Amino acid sequence: MKQHRIFFQALSALLCLVLCTQLTACGQKDTFSPASGKRYDNSLITEVLSEEGTFTDEYDQDWDYSYHIPQLEADTPDAEKINAQIMTVYGDDVRSSLVDAAVPKMPETYYESVSWQSHWNESLLSLSIKAQSWGGIMTDYQVYHFDFASGKQLTNTQLLDRFEIDEDNFIAALRRAAAQSFDSIYAPWDTPGLSPDSENFGSMCIELASMRAWTIAEENYELDTLLFYLDGDNSFTAFHPVGSVAGADWYYREMSGQIVLSEWADGKAPRSDYSFVSAVLTGEGASVRFTRHEDGMFDSEEYRPYVGFSYNTDYPIAACYGEYQDIFVGTFGNGMAPYVFLLTKGGTVEYADIFGGFDNGFLCSGGPLYGLHDIARFENGEREGGYEEGYQTVYAVDQNGDRYDLAGRITPMANAMPFPVTGDWYAEVRHGVDGGGSYTSSYFLSFSKNGFTSIENFMEDMEDLSIDYGGYCTYLGMTEQGMIYLFNLYNSNGDVRDGTFLLDFYDSENDLLRVIPVSGVNLFDAAESGSTTFVRAYG
């Protein structure tokens, strides 16, 4: 797994020195083990290197440095291994910095500060180390778990087992915390481009959605690579990668979470009803339910055959990661398309396309509607102005009573493709045939930022002939596997190929894109539960 880092604003020299000094001592807890009669505290941790000071570079700028490198006072192979690992990561860099600080020149090293915190649970120590680069731009973390009673280092799996915490429940809680960390910054982001009046609104929103999809991607949640410690009472603190607009594509962010269901798990949760569609908050997010209802304008029996729902069945909405205070069901347009809207405790809005999800095999959240904040409630209404004036819509109403048309925020984002996906891609696929044998075909796949998609399919030994399809993709939502798009493609003969696929662009920096079929036409003949890997094509 790649190393990830988090962005912090540069700290003043004095504040940095004070913080590092505080962090060195922070976390000490006097713990006594009745079973062994021993006391476990920070006396079992020493510092192999402890230096603080100031130097002046060749431009007469002063720089503070603060280095506190911990070592475990235990004579066991695992303790020696942890001590060696710490010195491998930080020792050479810090020593070089101290040598370079003796001359009026900026050190050609990485870290300006290294500090540590201890987190005790009887004989178990979780030692977290924080290292900041010069200027405080980048921050690295390491976490080590060591049991002084046994003299053994614990893996993350062993740590969870010790506290009887289920791995899947922990991963779900961490993913929820990471999504909330991202959303707290970008969901209410009040920047000029995040307005439906801007021509860049859709592209900006889909870029933010792609960074959120990267943040929750399953590749970021391999248990033995995670950096965290347990606080007790099913709570934890983690240092986890989160997508970012500024600087690098992602940084570490410190976050805390609870490995428990939400307050709405007891069934006394907010709910919303619109004709035959109901939605309710749950312990894990939200769900929808359908009841038989005859209505000339919105009749359940008219929609059930092609949407594919059953009556009186709870359908969870995947990828709902926020802390919610209210839920609302409303419809858009002349076709009466129902959506669920989730109001977070932070006053931001998330959404899910109900029929779009059901009709295409995956009901999931589309994530936040970016640029909205201080929202207090929702209300149904009609669109004002434009060619859709008078059509049904839903308004978010803020604390000042100002209303925001949500249809005008969903459509531009839905009709856009994120930068990691746009461009040209190539794959070769081996196809089996009935009765045995196989053949190879080549696919050229192209995505435009406005959602236009084209596919050229060349078959083996028929390079002069191709099957070409083109059309548009529409964003539906995201899961830990990627972003879900509805596609509707056609060729010159009028043949139509439609369905949905997941786009996994986690390795797009390495020029790789995975396309995972969800429903409808399996465009690239992927195996059941499989995918097709494309390589970016240049030139």
More confident residue, 127 or 384: 127
The span from the CA of 320 to the CA of 287, in Å, is 10
Judge whether residue 151 has pLDDT over 70: yes
pLDDT given at position 436: 79
Residue ranges of domains in the chain: 40-189+201-258, 271-415, 419-536
Strands, E assignment, 433-511: 438-447, 452-459, 462-479, 482-490, 496-504
pLDDT given at position 30: 57
State mean pLDDT over 81-106: 91
Four-CA torsion 155, 160, 161, 167, nearest 10 degrees: -110
Judge whether residue 246 has pLDDT over 90: no
Q: How many CB atoms lie within 10 A of CB 240?
A: 25
State mean pLDDT over 169-194: 94
pLDDT given at position 29: 55
Judge whether residue 412 has pLDDT over 60: yes
253-272 per-position pLDDT tens digit: 999 999 987 788 777 899 99
pLDDT given at position 34: 57
CA-based torsion, 493, 494, 495, 496: positive or negative:
positive
The span from the CA of 467 to the CA of 124, in Å, is 63
425: CB partners within 8 A, 6+ apart: 444, 445, 446, 447, 513, 534, 535, 536, 537
User: Do you know the residue count of the chain?
Assistant: 539
Judge whether residue 213 has pLDDT over 50: yes
State mean pLDDT over 391-397: 93
Judge whether residue 70 has pLDDT over 50: yes
Question: Helices 201-215 & 167-186, crossing angle to 10 degrees?
Answer: 150
**Percent of the chain having pLDDT more than 90?**
71
pLDDT given at position 200: 93
More confident residue, 188 or 31: 188
**Percent of the chain having pLDDT more than 70?**
92
Lowest mean pLDDT among 7-11, 277-281, 364-368: 7-11
267-301 per-position pLDDT tens digit: 789 999 999 999 999 999 999 999 998 877 788 99
Judge whether residue 386 has pLDDT over 90: no
335: helix, strand or coil: coil
pLDDT given at position 191: 85
- For the chain, helix, strand, coil in percent to 5 are 20, 40, 35
Radius of gyration of the chain (CA): 27
Counting Cα atoms < 13 Å in the Cβ hemisphere of 82 gives: 28
> Which residue from 516, 423, 505, 431 is spatially nearest to 215, judged by alpha carbons?
505
pLDDT given at position 387: 65
> Which residue from 179, 165, 158 is spatially nearest to 221, judged by alpha carbons?
179
**Mean predicted lDDT score pLDDT of the chain:** 89
Q: Where does the pLDDT of residue 516 fall: very low under 50, low under 70, confident under 90, or very high at 90 and above?
A: very high
15-30 per-position pLDDT tens digit: 333 333 443 444 555 5
Judge whether residue 99 has pLDDT over 50: yes
Hey, do 40-189+201-258 and 419-536 end up sharing a CATH topology, with the first three levels equal?
Answer: no
Joined together, the tokens standing for residue 84 give: 């060696």
From the centroid of its chain, how far is CA 76?
A: 39
H, E, C per residue of 95-122: HHHHHHCCCCCCCCCCEEEEEEEEEEEC
More confident residue, 10 or 459: 459
Q: Where does the pLDDT of residue 5 fall: very low under 50, low under 70, confident under 90, or very high at 90 and above?
A: very low
Going by CATH, does the domain composed of 419-536 fall within 3.40.50?
no
State mean pLDDT over 403-415: 94
State mean pLDDT over 77-85: 98
Q: Where does the pLDDT of residue 319 fall: very low under 50, low under 70, confident under 90, or very high at 90 and above?
A: very high
pLDDT given at position 419: 96
Q: Where does the pLDDT of residue 390 fall: very low under 50, low under 70, confident under 90, or very high at 90 and above?
A: confident
3.40.1190.20, 3.30.565.40, 3.30.310.50, 3.40.640.10: which CATH number matches 40-189+201-258?
Answer: 3.30.565.40
State mean pLDDT over 130-150: 95
The secondary structure of residue 89, as a DSSP letter, is I
pLDDT given at position 321: 96
State mean pLDDT over 60-88: 96
User: pTM for the whole thing?
Assistant: 0.89
The span from the CA of 304 to the CA of 135, in Å, is 59
C-alpha pair distances (Å), 206 with each of 369, 485, 516: 10, 12, 19
pLDDT given at position 466: 80
